[in-house]
Amino acid sequence: MHIDKSIEEKVTWFLDQRTDDMGSTLGMKFLKIAKNEMIAEMPVNSATVQPFRILHGGASVALAETLCSVGAWVNCPEHKTAVGIEINANHHRSVPEGGKVTATAVPLQMGRTLHVWETKIVDERGKLVCTSRCTLMIIDKK
């Protein structure tokens, strides 16, 4: 996995914490964690398909929001955190059970109190499966 050196300590702490969350349950694997790009892959298996054995749109949205949330969080000062306040997704094509998808999220705008990130999810052939946009609020840690 590629991790930006400037956020290595923060990311190491994060990765140590994620033993039992939605992302790990769905099989998400981070490939790159950087301030300006997040990449992860997710299997299309019994945990991520809908009853017709194709990738569930909700699993795509969960992948997108996970990447955007972590991406916004690594850009926050120590006393702040990021929370999603809106997400949308367009599903372009189906992915049958047995494959995997790869998602890349990039910031479109990173302000002091709001971030907007965009995610593109592709199948193993590189074909676009889903595009998503997520708005995150930057708040004080509790």
| Residues noted as catalytic | 65
* Rounded Cα–Cα distance for residues 142 and 120 (Å): 31
Give every CB contact of residue 116 below 8 A, 6+ residues apart in sequence: 107, 108, 109, 133, 134, 135, 136
Q: Which residues of 38-49 are buried (b: 16+ CB within 10 A; e: fewer)?
A: bbbbbbbbeebb
Dihedral-angle region of residue 27 (phi above 0 means left; psi in -120 to 50 means alpha; beta otherwise): left
Report which of 10, 108, 113, 22 is spatially closest to residue 63, judged by C-alpha positions.
22
Q: List all residues 6 or more positions away from 14 whose beta carbon is below 8 Å from its beta carbon.
A: 70, 73, 74
